[in-house]
Structures are given as C-alpha cells and as structure tokens.
Amino acid sequence: MASFPYEDSNPNANPNPNYTHFPPILDPASFFDFKLSDFLIFDDDDINIDQAASSSPSMTSSEKITGVDSGGSSTIIDSGSSIVVSSGASKSIRSKNGENKKRKGEMGCRVAFRTKTEKEIMDDGYKWRKYGKKSVKNSPNPRNYYKCSSEGCNVKKKVERDREDASYVITTYEGVHNHESPFVVYYNQMPSFTSTPT
C-alpha cells in the first residue's frame, strides 16, 4: 500500500479484488492540468469518504489522515495533498426488477481524492459514461455519477465540486477496472515510452 499511483500502469495485473490501487491518472496531459490536493487513505467501511474528502481545505493532509484513517496506511503525495482509499465498500445495489442486492465488499475499493481544477471531468485515461446527476444536501453543487463504459467493467465514479471551495473537485472512484486503460494500451505501444533497460 505504498505504491505511487502513476507507477501502477497495469491495473489488469491485479488478481486481488481487495487490492487497493490508486486512481488511474495516467494521462500526462490531464495529470499536469490539475493540482492534486487531497489524497486520503483508509480501510474502514463506515467512513464517509465524501465528507472526508470534502473536509475543510485548510486542514493539512496529515491532519486529515489522522482524523480519518483508523490505523491504516497512508501515502502523502504532496504538501497539502490527500486521497481517500477504502478497500471494502458496502453498497446496496438495486437490480432492474427492483430486487435489492447487498454487495458488501464486491466493489473492491473506493478512492476519493480532491483536486484543484477548473475542469469538471478529469481525463484519467478511461472512458466514462454519465448515468446520473443529483443535487446533494448541504452542497450547492450537483454530484455527477459515471460508469466505466468498457463492457463488463463495473467501476463507477462520483464527481462533485467541493462545497466549501468550488475550485476543488472531489472525485470518488468505486471498484477496480478489469481492463487496462485505453491510455495504457496506447502508452505501451509507444516505443519511446516502453520501459527498455538502459
């Protein structure tokens, strides 16, 4: 639990659904286009990621980790930066016929992070399809819901603006991709970027 997200260029190689890997920010163009601002990590099911991620921007990342992480590991990316990671999301999923299914832990992990960006959507290399938009309580900004549009991939993400500072965007990933990012495929095909030993 100490790997840097941008080193995890092959999410597909992860056989463990509970493996907590970082958000696939793999597009250099988009990566440098925003300032990573929050990166919290925890393992507790009951923690409200959204609240943790959107807590006061004046807090330091170490303060956030102390307040949120109940003994789990943590990785600080940058001064004042934090991401929230949960490895056991508990979620109630409603099927089409109205049947409700408990899917505790099925999603693999959740990752929430806050970034300072003007863009609502961060291009993380994956293709997302929007399936919902909801105004949430205590926040003037609506929350957008996205699913990975790859067939068979159940990864979801929520995107909302920080209620305290609209220049920040809170992104919550849920689950682990069962395929490689289109960007990774493209990246791996580029001779100048392949990891040839010197």
Partner DNA sequence: CGACTTTGACCGGCGC
Partner DNA sequence: GCGCCGGTCAAAGTCG
CB of 90 to DNA, least distance (A): 8
Q: Is 191 helix (H, G, I), strand (E, B) or coil?
A: helix
* Burial status of residue 195 (CB atoms within 10 A of its CB: 0-12, 13-18, 19 or more): exposed
C-beta pairs of 27-32 under 8 Å, 24+ apart in sequence: 27/123, 27/124, 27/125, 27/183, 29/123, 30/119, 30/122, 30/123, 30/124, 31/6
Q: Which of 102, 105, 110, 101 is nearest to 171 (CA)?
A: 110
Q: Which of 100, 195 has the CB closer to DNA?
A: 100
* Interface stretch with DNA, choices 11-19, 25-33, 71-79, 96-104 (CB under 7 A): 96-104
CB nearer to DNA: give 77 or 156.
Answer: 156
Asked if residues 113 and 38 have their Cβ atoms less than 8 Å apart, the reply is: yes
Shortest approach of DNA to residue 124 CB, angstroms?
14
Question: Strand, coil or helix: what is 102?
Answer: strand
Our finding on whether 138 is near DNA (CB under 7 A) is: yes
28 binds DNA (CB under 7 A): no
Site string for DNA, 48-87 (x = CB under 7 A): --x-------------------------------------
Least separation in angstroms between CB 122 and DNA: 13
Min dist CB 170 to DNA, Å, is 11
130 binds DNA (CB under 7 A): yes
- As a whole number of angstroms, the distance between CA 108 and CA 90 comes to 10
- Positions that interact with DNA (CB under 7 A): 50, 91-96, 98-100, 102, 127-134, 136-138, 143, 145, 149, 156, 158
